[in-house]
Chains A and B, each alone.
Chain A
């Protein structure tokens, strides 16, 4: 009988891990991906969608079309994983048995955990959010735009910085820049958590007149007054507020008591084994690892998980380890970008922003669907 692997979540990490396991083990494995929507969403596209540079239909595909033929897809919400019974319970009844479990459930947005956030702010962290923001920007006629972070950890750490650069560019194109102010509300005393990247982007922000408000950790929003308040006791008035909503781990993780206080799965930084269990692994945003929550992280973690599960099924010693590798682009506006490549041991040394990196990002945006979920980008080249 083939070994049974259940993968919770059909995002980058879950899809790639499922495909790699099927490819590697063939008849020796039966992989089931459980995903509540059955749609695979390319989340990096939300930024472009909000700024009117991409279409919504370009950002989602049927998960079935991305999975290898022998991988089963259950379009169902998993409600609970029971490690001792080896089963995953489904929302509409029934359960799926497993020998190995992969948690690739991602993060969920908890917009209601910050008072006033829903009524007072926009975001580009979901398809609907990005579409609402696009509409707000379309009818924007000048004023104060503030961009901040309403909770950590959050997905794609460079995104707020990218957004201020790209919205600056948009306002210039529309002749609204002189009537507008763009401010980044940063939780720290610099534009970005990673020092080297901050040193690179701060002069560019100065050059474009993008303001930086430091140590501004969002506490609440007062929509009627049009102001956002910080834990540090500051108040900032806005006409258009864009906030990264707070994130938590998924409900199924919390219901199964597999998460920490934030709902993130305690995960070994090298083996990606979860909760100290031999047969449970976690990938991507779902983990509690202190690295970027991003598709790139999941992309580099999935082959490690697939390889370790394949070894366990074959009865050989697992060898693959995750070294903390992440690679992401950082758009700096005016069709230029830089790239952040780093791992647990090596902080990034981003190159000067150039057209080349911006083009590479766009090429990646286009090639994603035919390459990443199938494991067609060789690991060293990505």
Chain B
């Protein structure tokens, strides 16, 4: 499936649990199969996003790190 990003959330500088909560809020407004890109700097967001994706069934399509910035790409289920 195409992973064109529908929406980007810049959550750099925010600490846990803000990235997860903002992501849950943003996902709520999106349609199924739409793709959300999230940028975060909190290292704790890595295990949180993996677990959140598993728990909610929203697929974590991509996860990368570049110079302390974590990028998560999630596809709404």
Contacts and interface: CB of A to CB of B under 8 A. Distances in A.
A187 B20 contact: yes
Interface in B19-71: 20-21, 24-25, 27-28, 44, 48, 51-52, 55-56
Interface stretch (A117-125, A139-147, A188-196, A273-281): A188-196
Interface size bracket, A side = 10 to 19
Contact of B28 (A153, A193, A231, A290): A231
B56 A152 contact: no
A98 to B, nearest CB: 30
A219 B21 CA distance: 11
Contact of A231 (B15, B16, B27, B48): B27
Contact of A232 (B13, B24, B44): B24
A189 B21 contact: no
A230 B18 CA distance: 16
Contacts of B17: 152, 187-188, 193
A292 to B, nearest CB: 10
Nearest to B14: A290
A42 interface: no
A234 to B, nearest CB: 9
If over half of B's interface residues share one DSSP class (helix, strand or loop), that class is named, otherwise mixed; here it is: helix
A233 B77 CA distance: 12
A188 B20 CA distance: 7
Contacts of B14: 290
B13 to A, nearest CB: 7
A290 B20 contact: no
B16 A215 contact: no
A215 B18 contact: no
A344 to B, nearest CB: 10
A189 B55 contact: yes
A269 to B, nearest CB: 10
Contacts of A188: 16-17, 20, 48
B44 A195 contact: yes
Interface string B1-23: 00000000000011111101100
Contacts of B52: 189, 215
A153 B25 contact: no
A231 B24 contact: yes
Contacts of A359: none
Interface string A211-223: 0001101010000
B24 A217 contact: yes
Contacts of B13: 290
Contacts of A214: 55
Contact of A189 (B15, B24, B48): B48
Contacts of A187: 17, 20-21, 24
A290 B55 contact: no
A193 to B, nearest CB: 5
Contacts of A217: 20-21, 24-25
Contacts of A291: 15
Contact of A193 (B16, B24, B25, B56): B16
A219 B44 contact: no
Nearest to A217: B24
Given A152-B17, A193-B16, A290-B13, 5 more contacts: A189-B55, A193-B15, A217-B20, A217-B24, A232-B55
Which 6 pairs show the lowest CB-CB distances between chains A and B?
Answer: A231-B24, A189-B51, A290-B15, A217-B24, A187-B17, A215-B55
Interface of A: 152-153, 187-189, 193, 195, 214-215, 217, 219, 230-233, 290-291
Interface of B: 13-18, 20-21, 24-25, 27-28, 44, 48, 51-52, 55-56
20 contacts: A152-B17, A187-B21, A187-B24, A188-B48, A189-B48, A189-B51, A189-B52, A189-B55, A195-B44, A214-B55, A215-B24, A215-B55, A217-B20, A217-B25, A230-B24, A231-B25, A231-B28, A233-B56, A290-B14, A291-B15
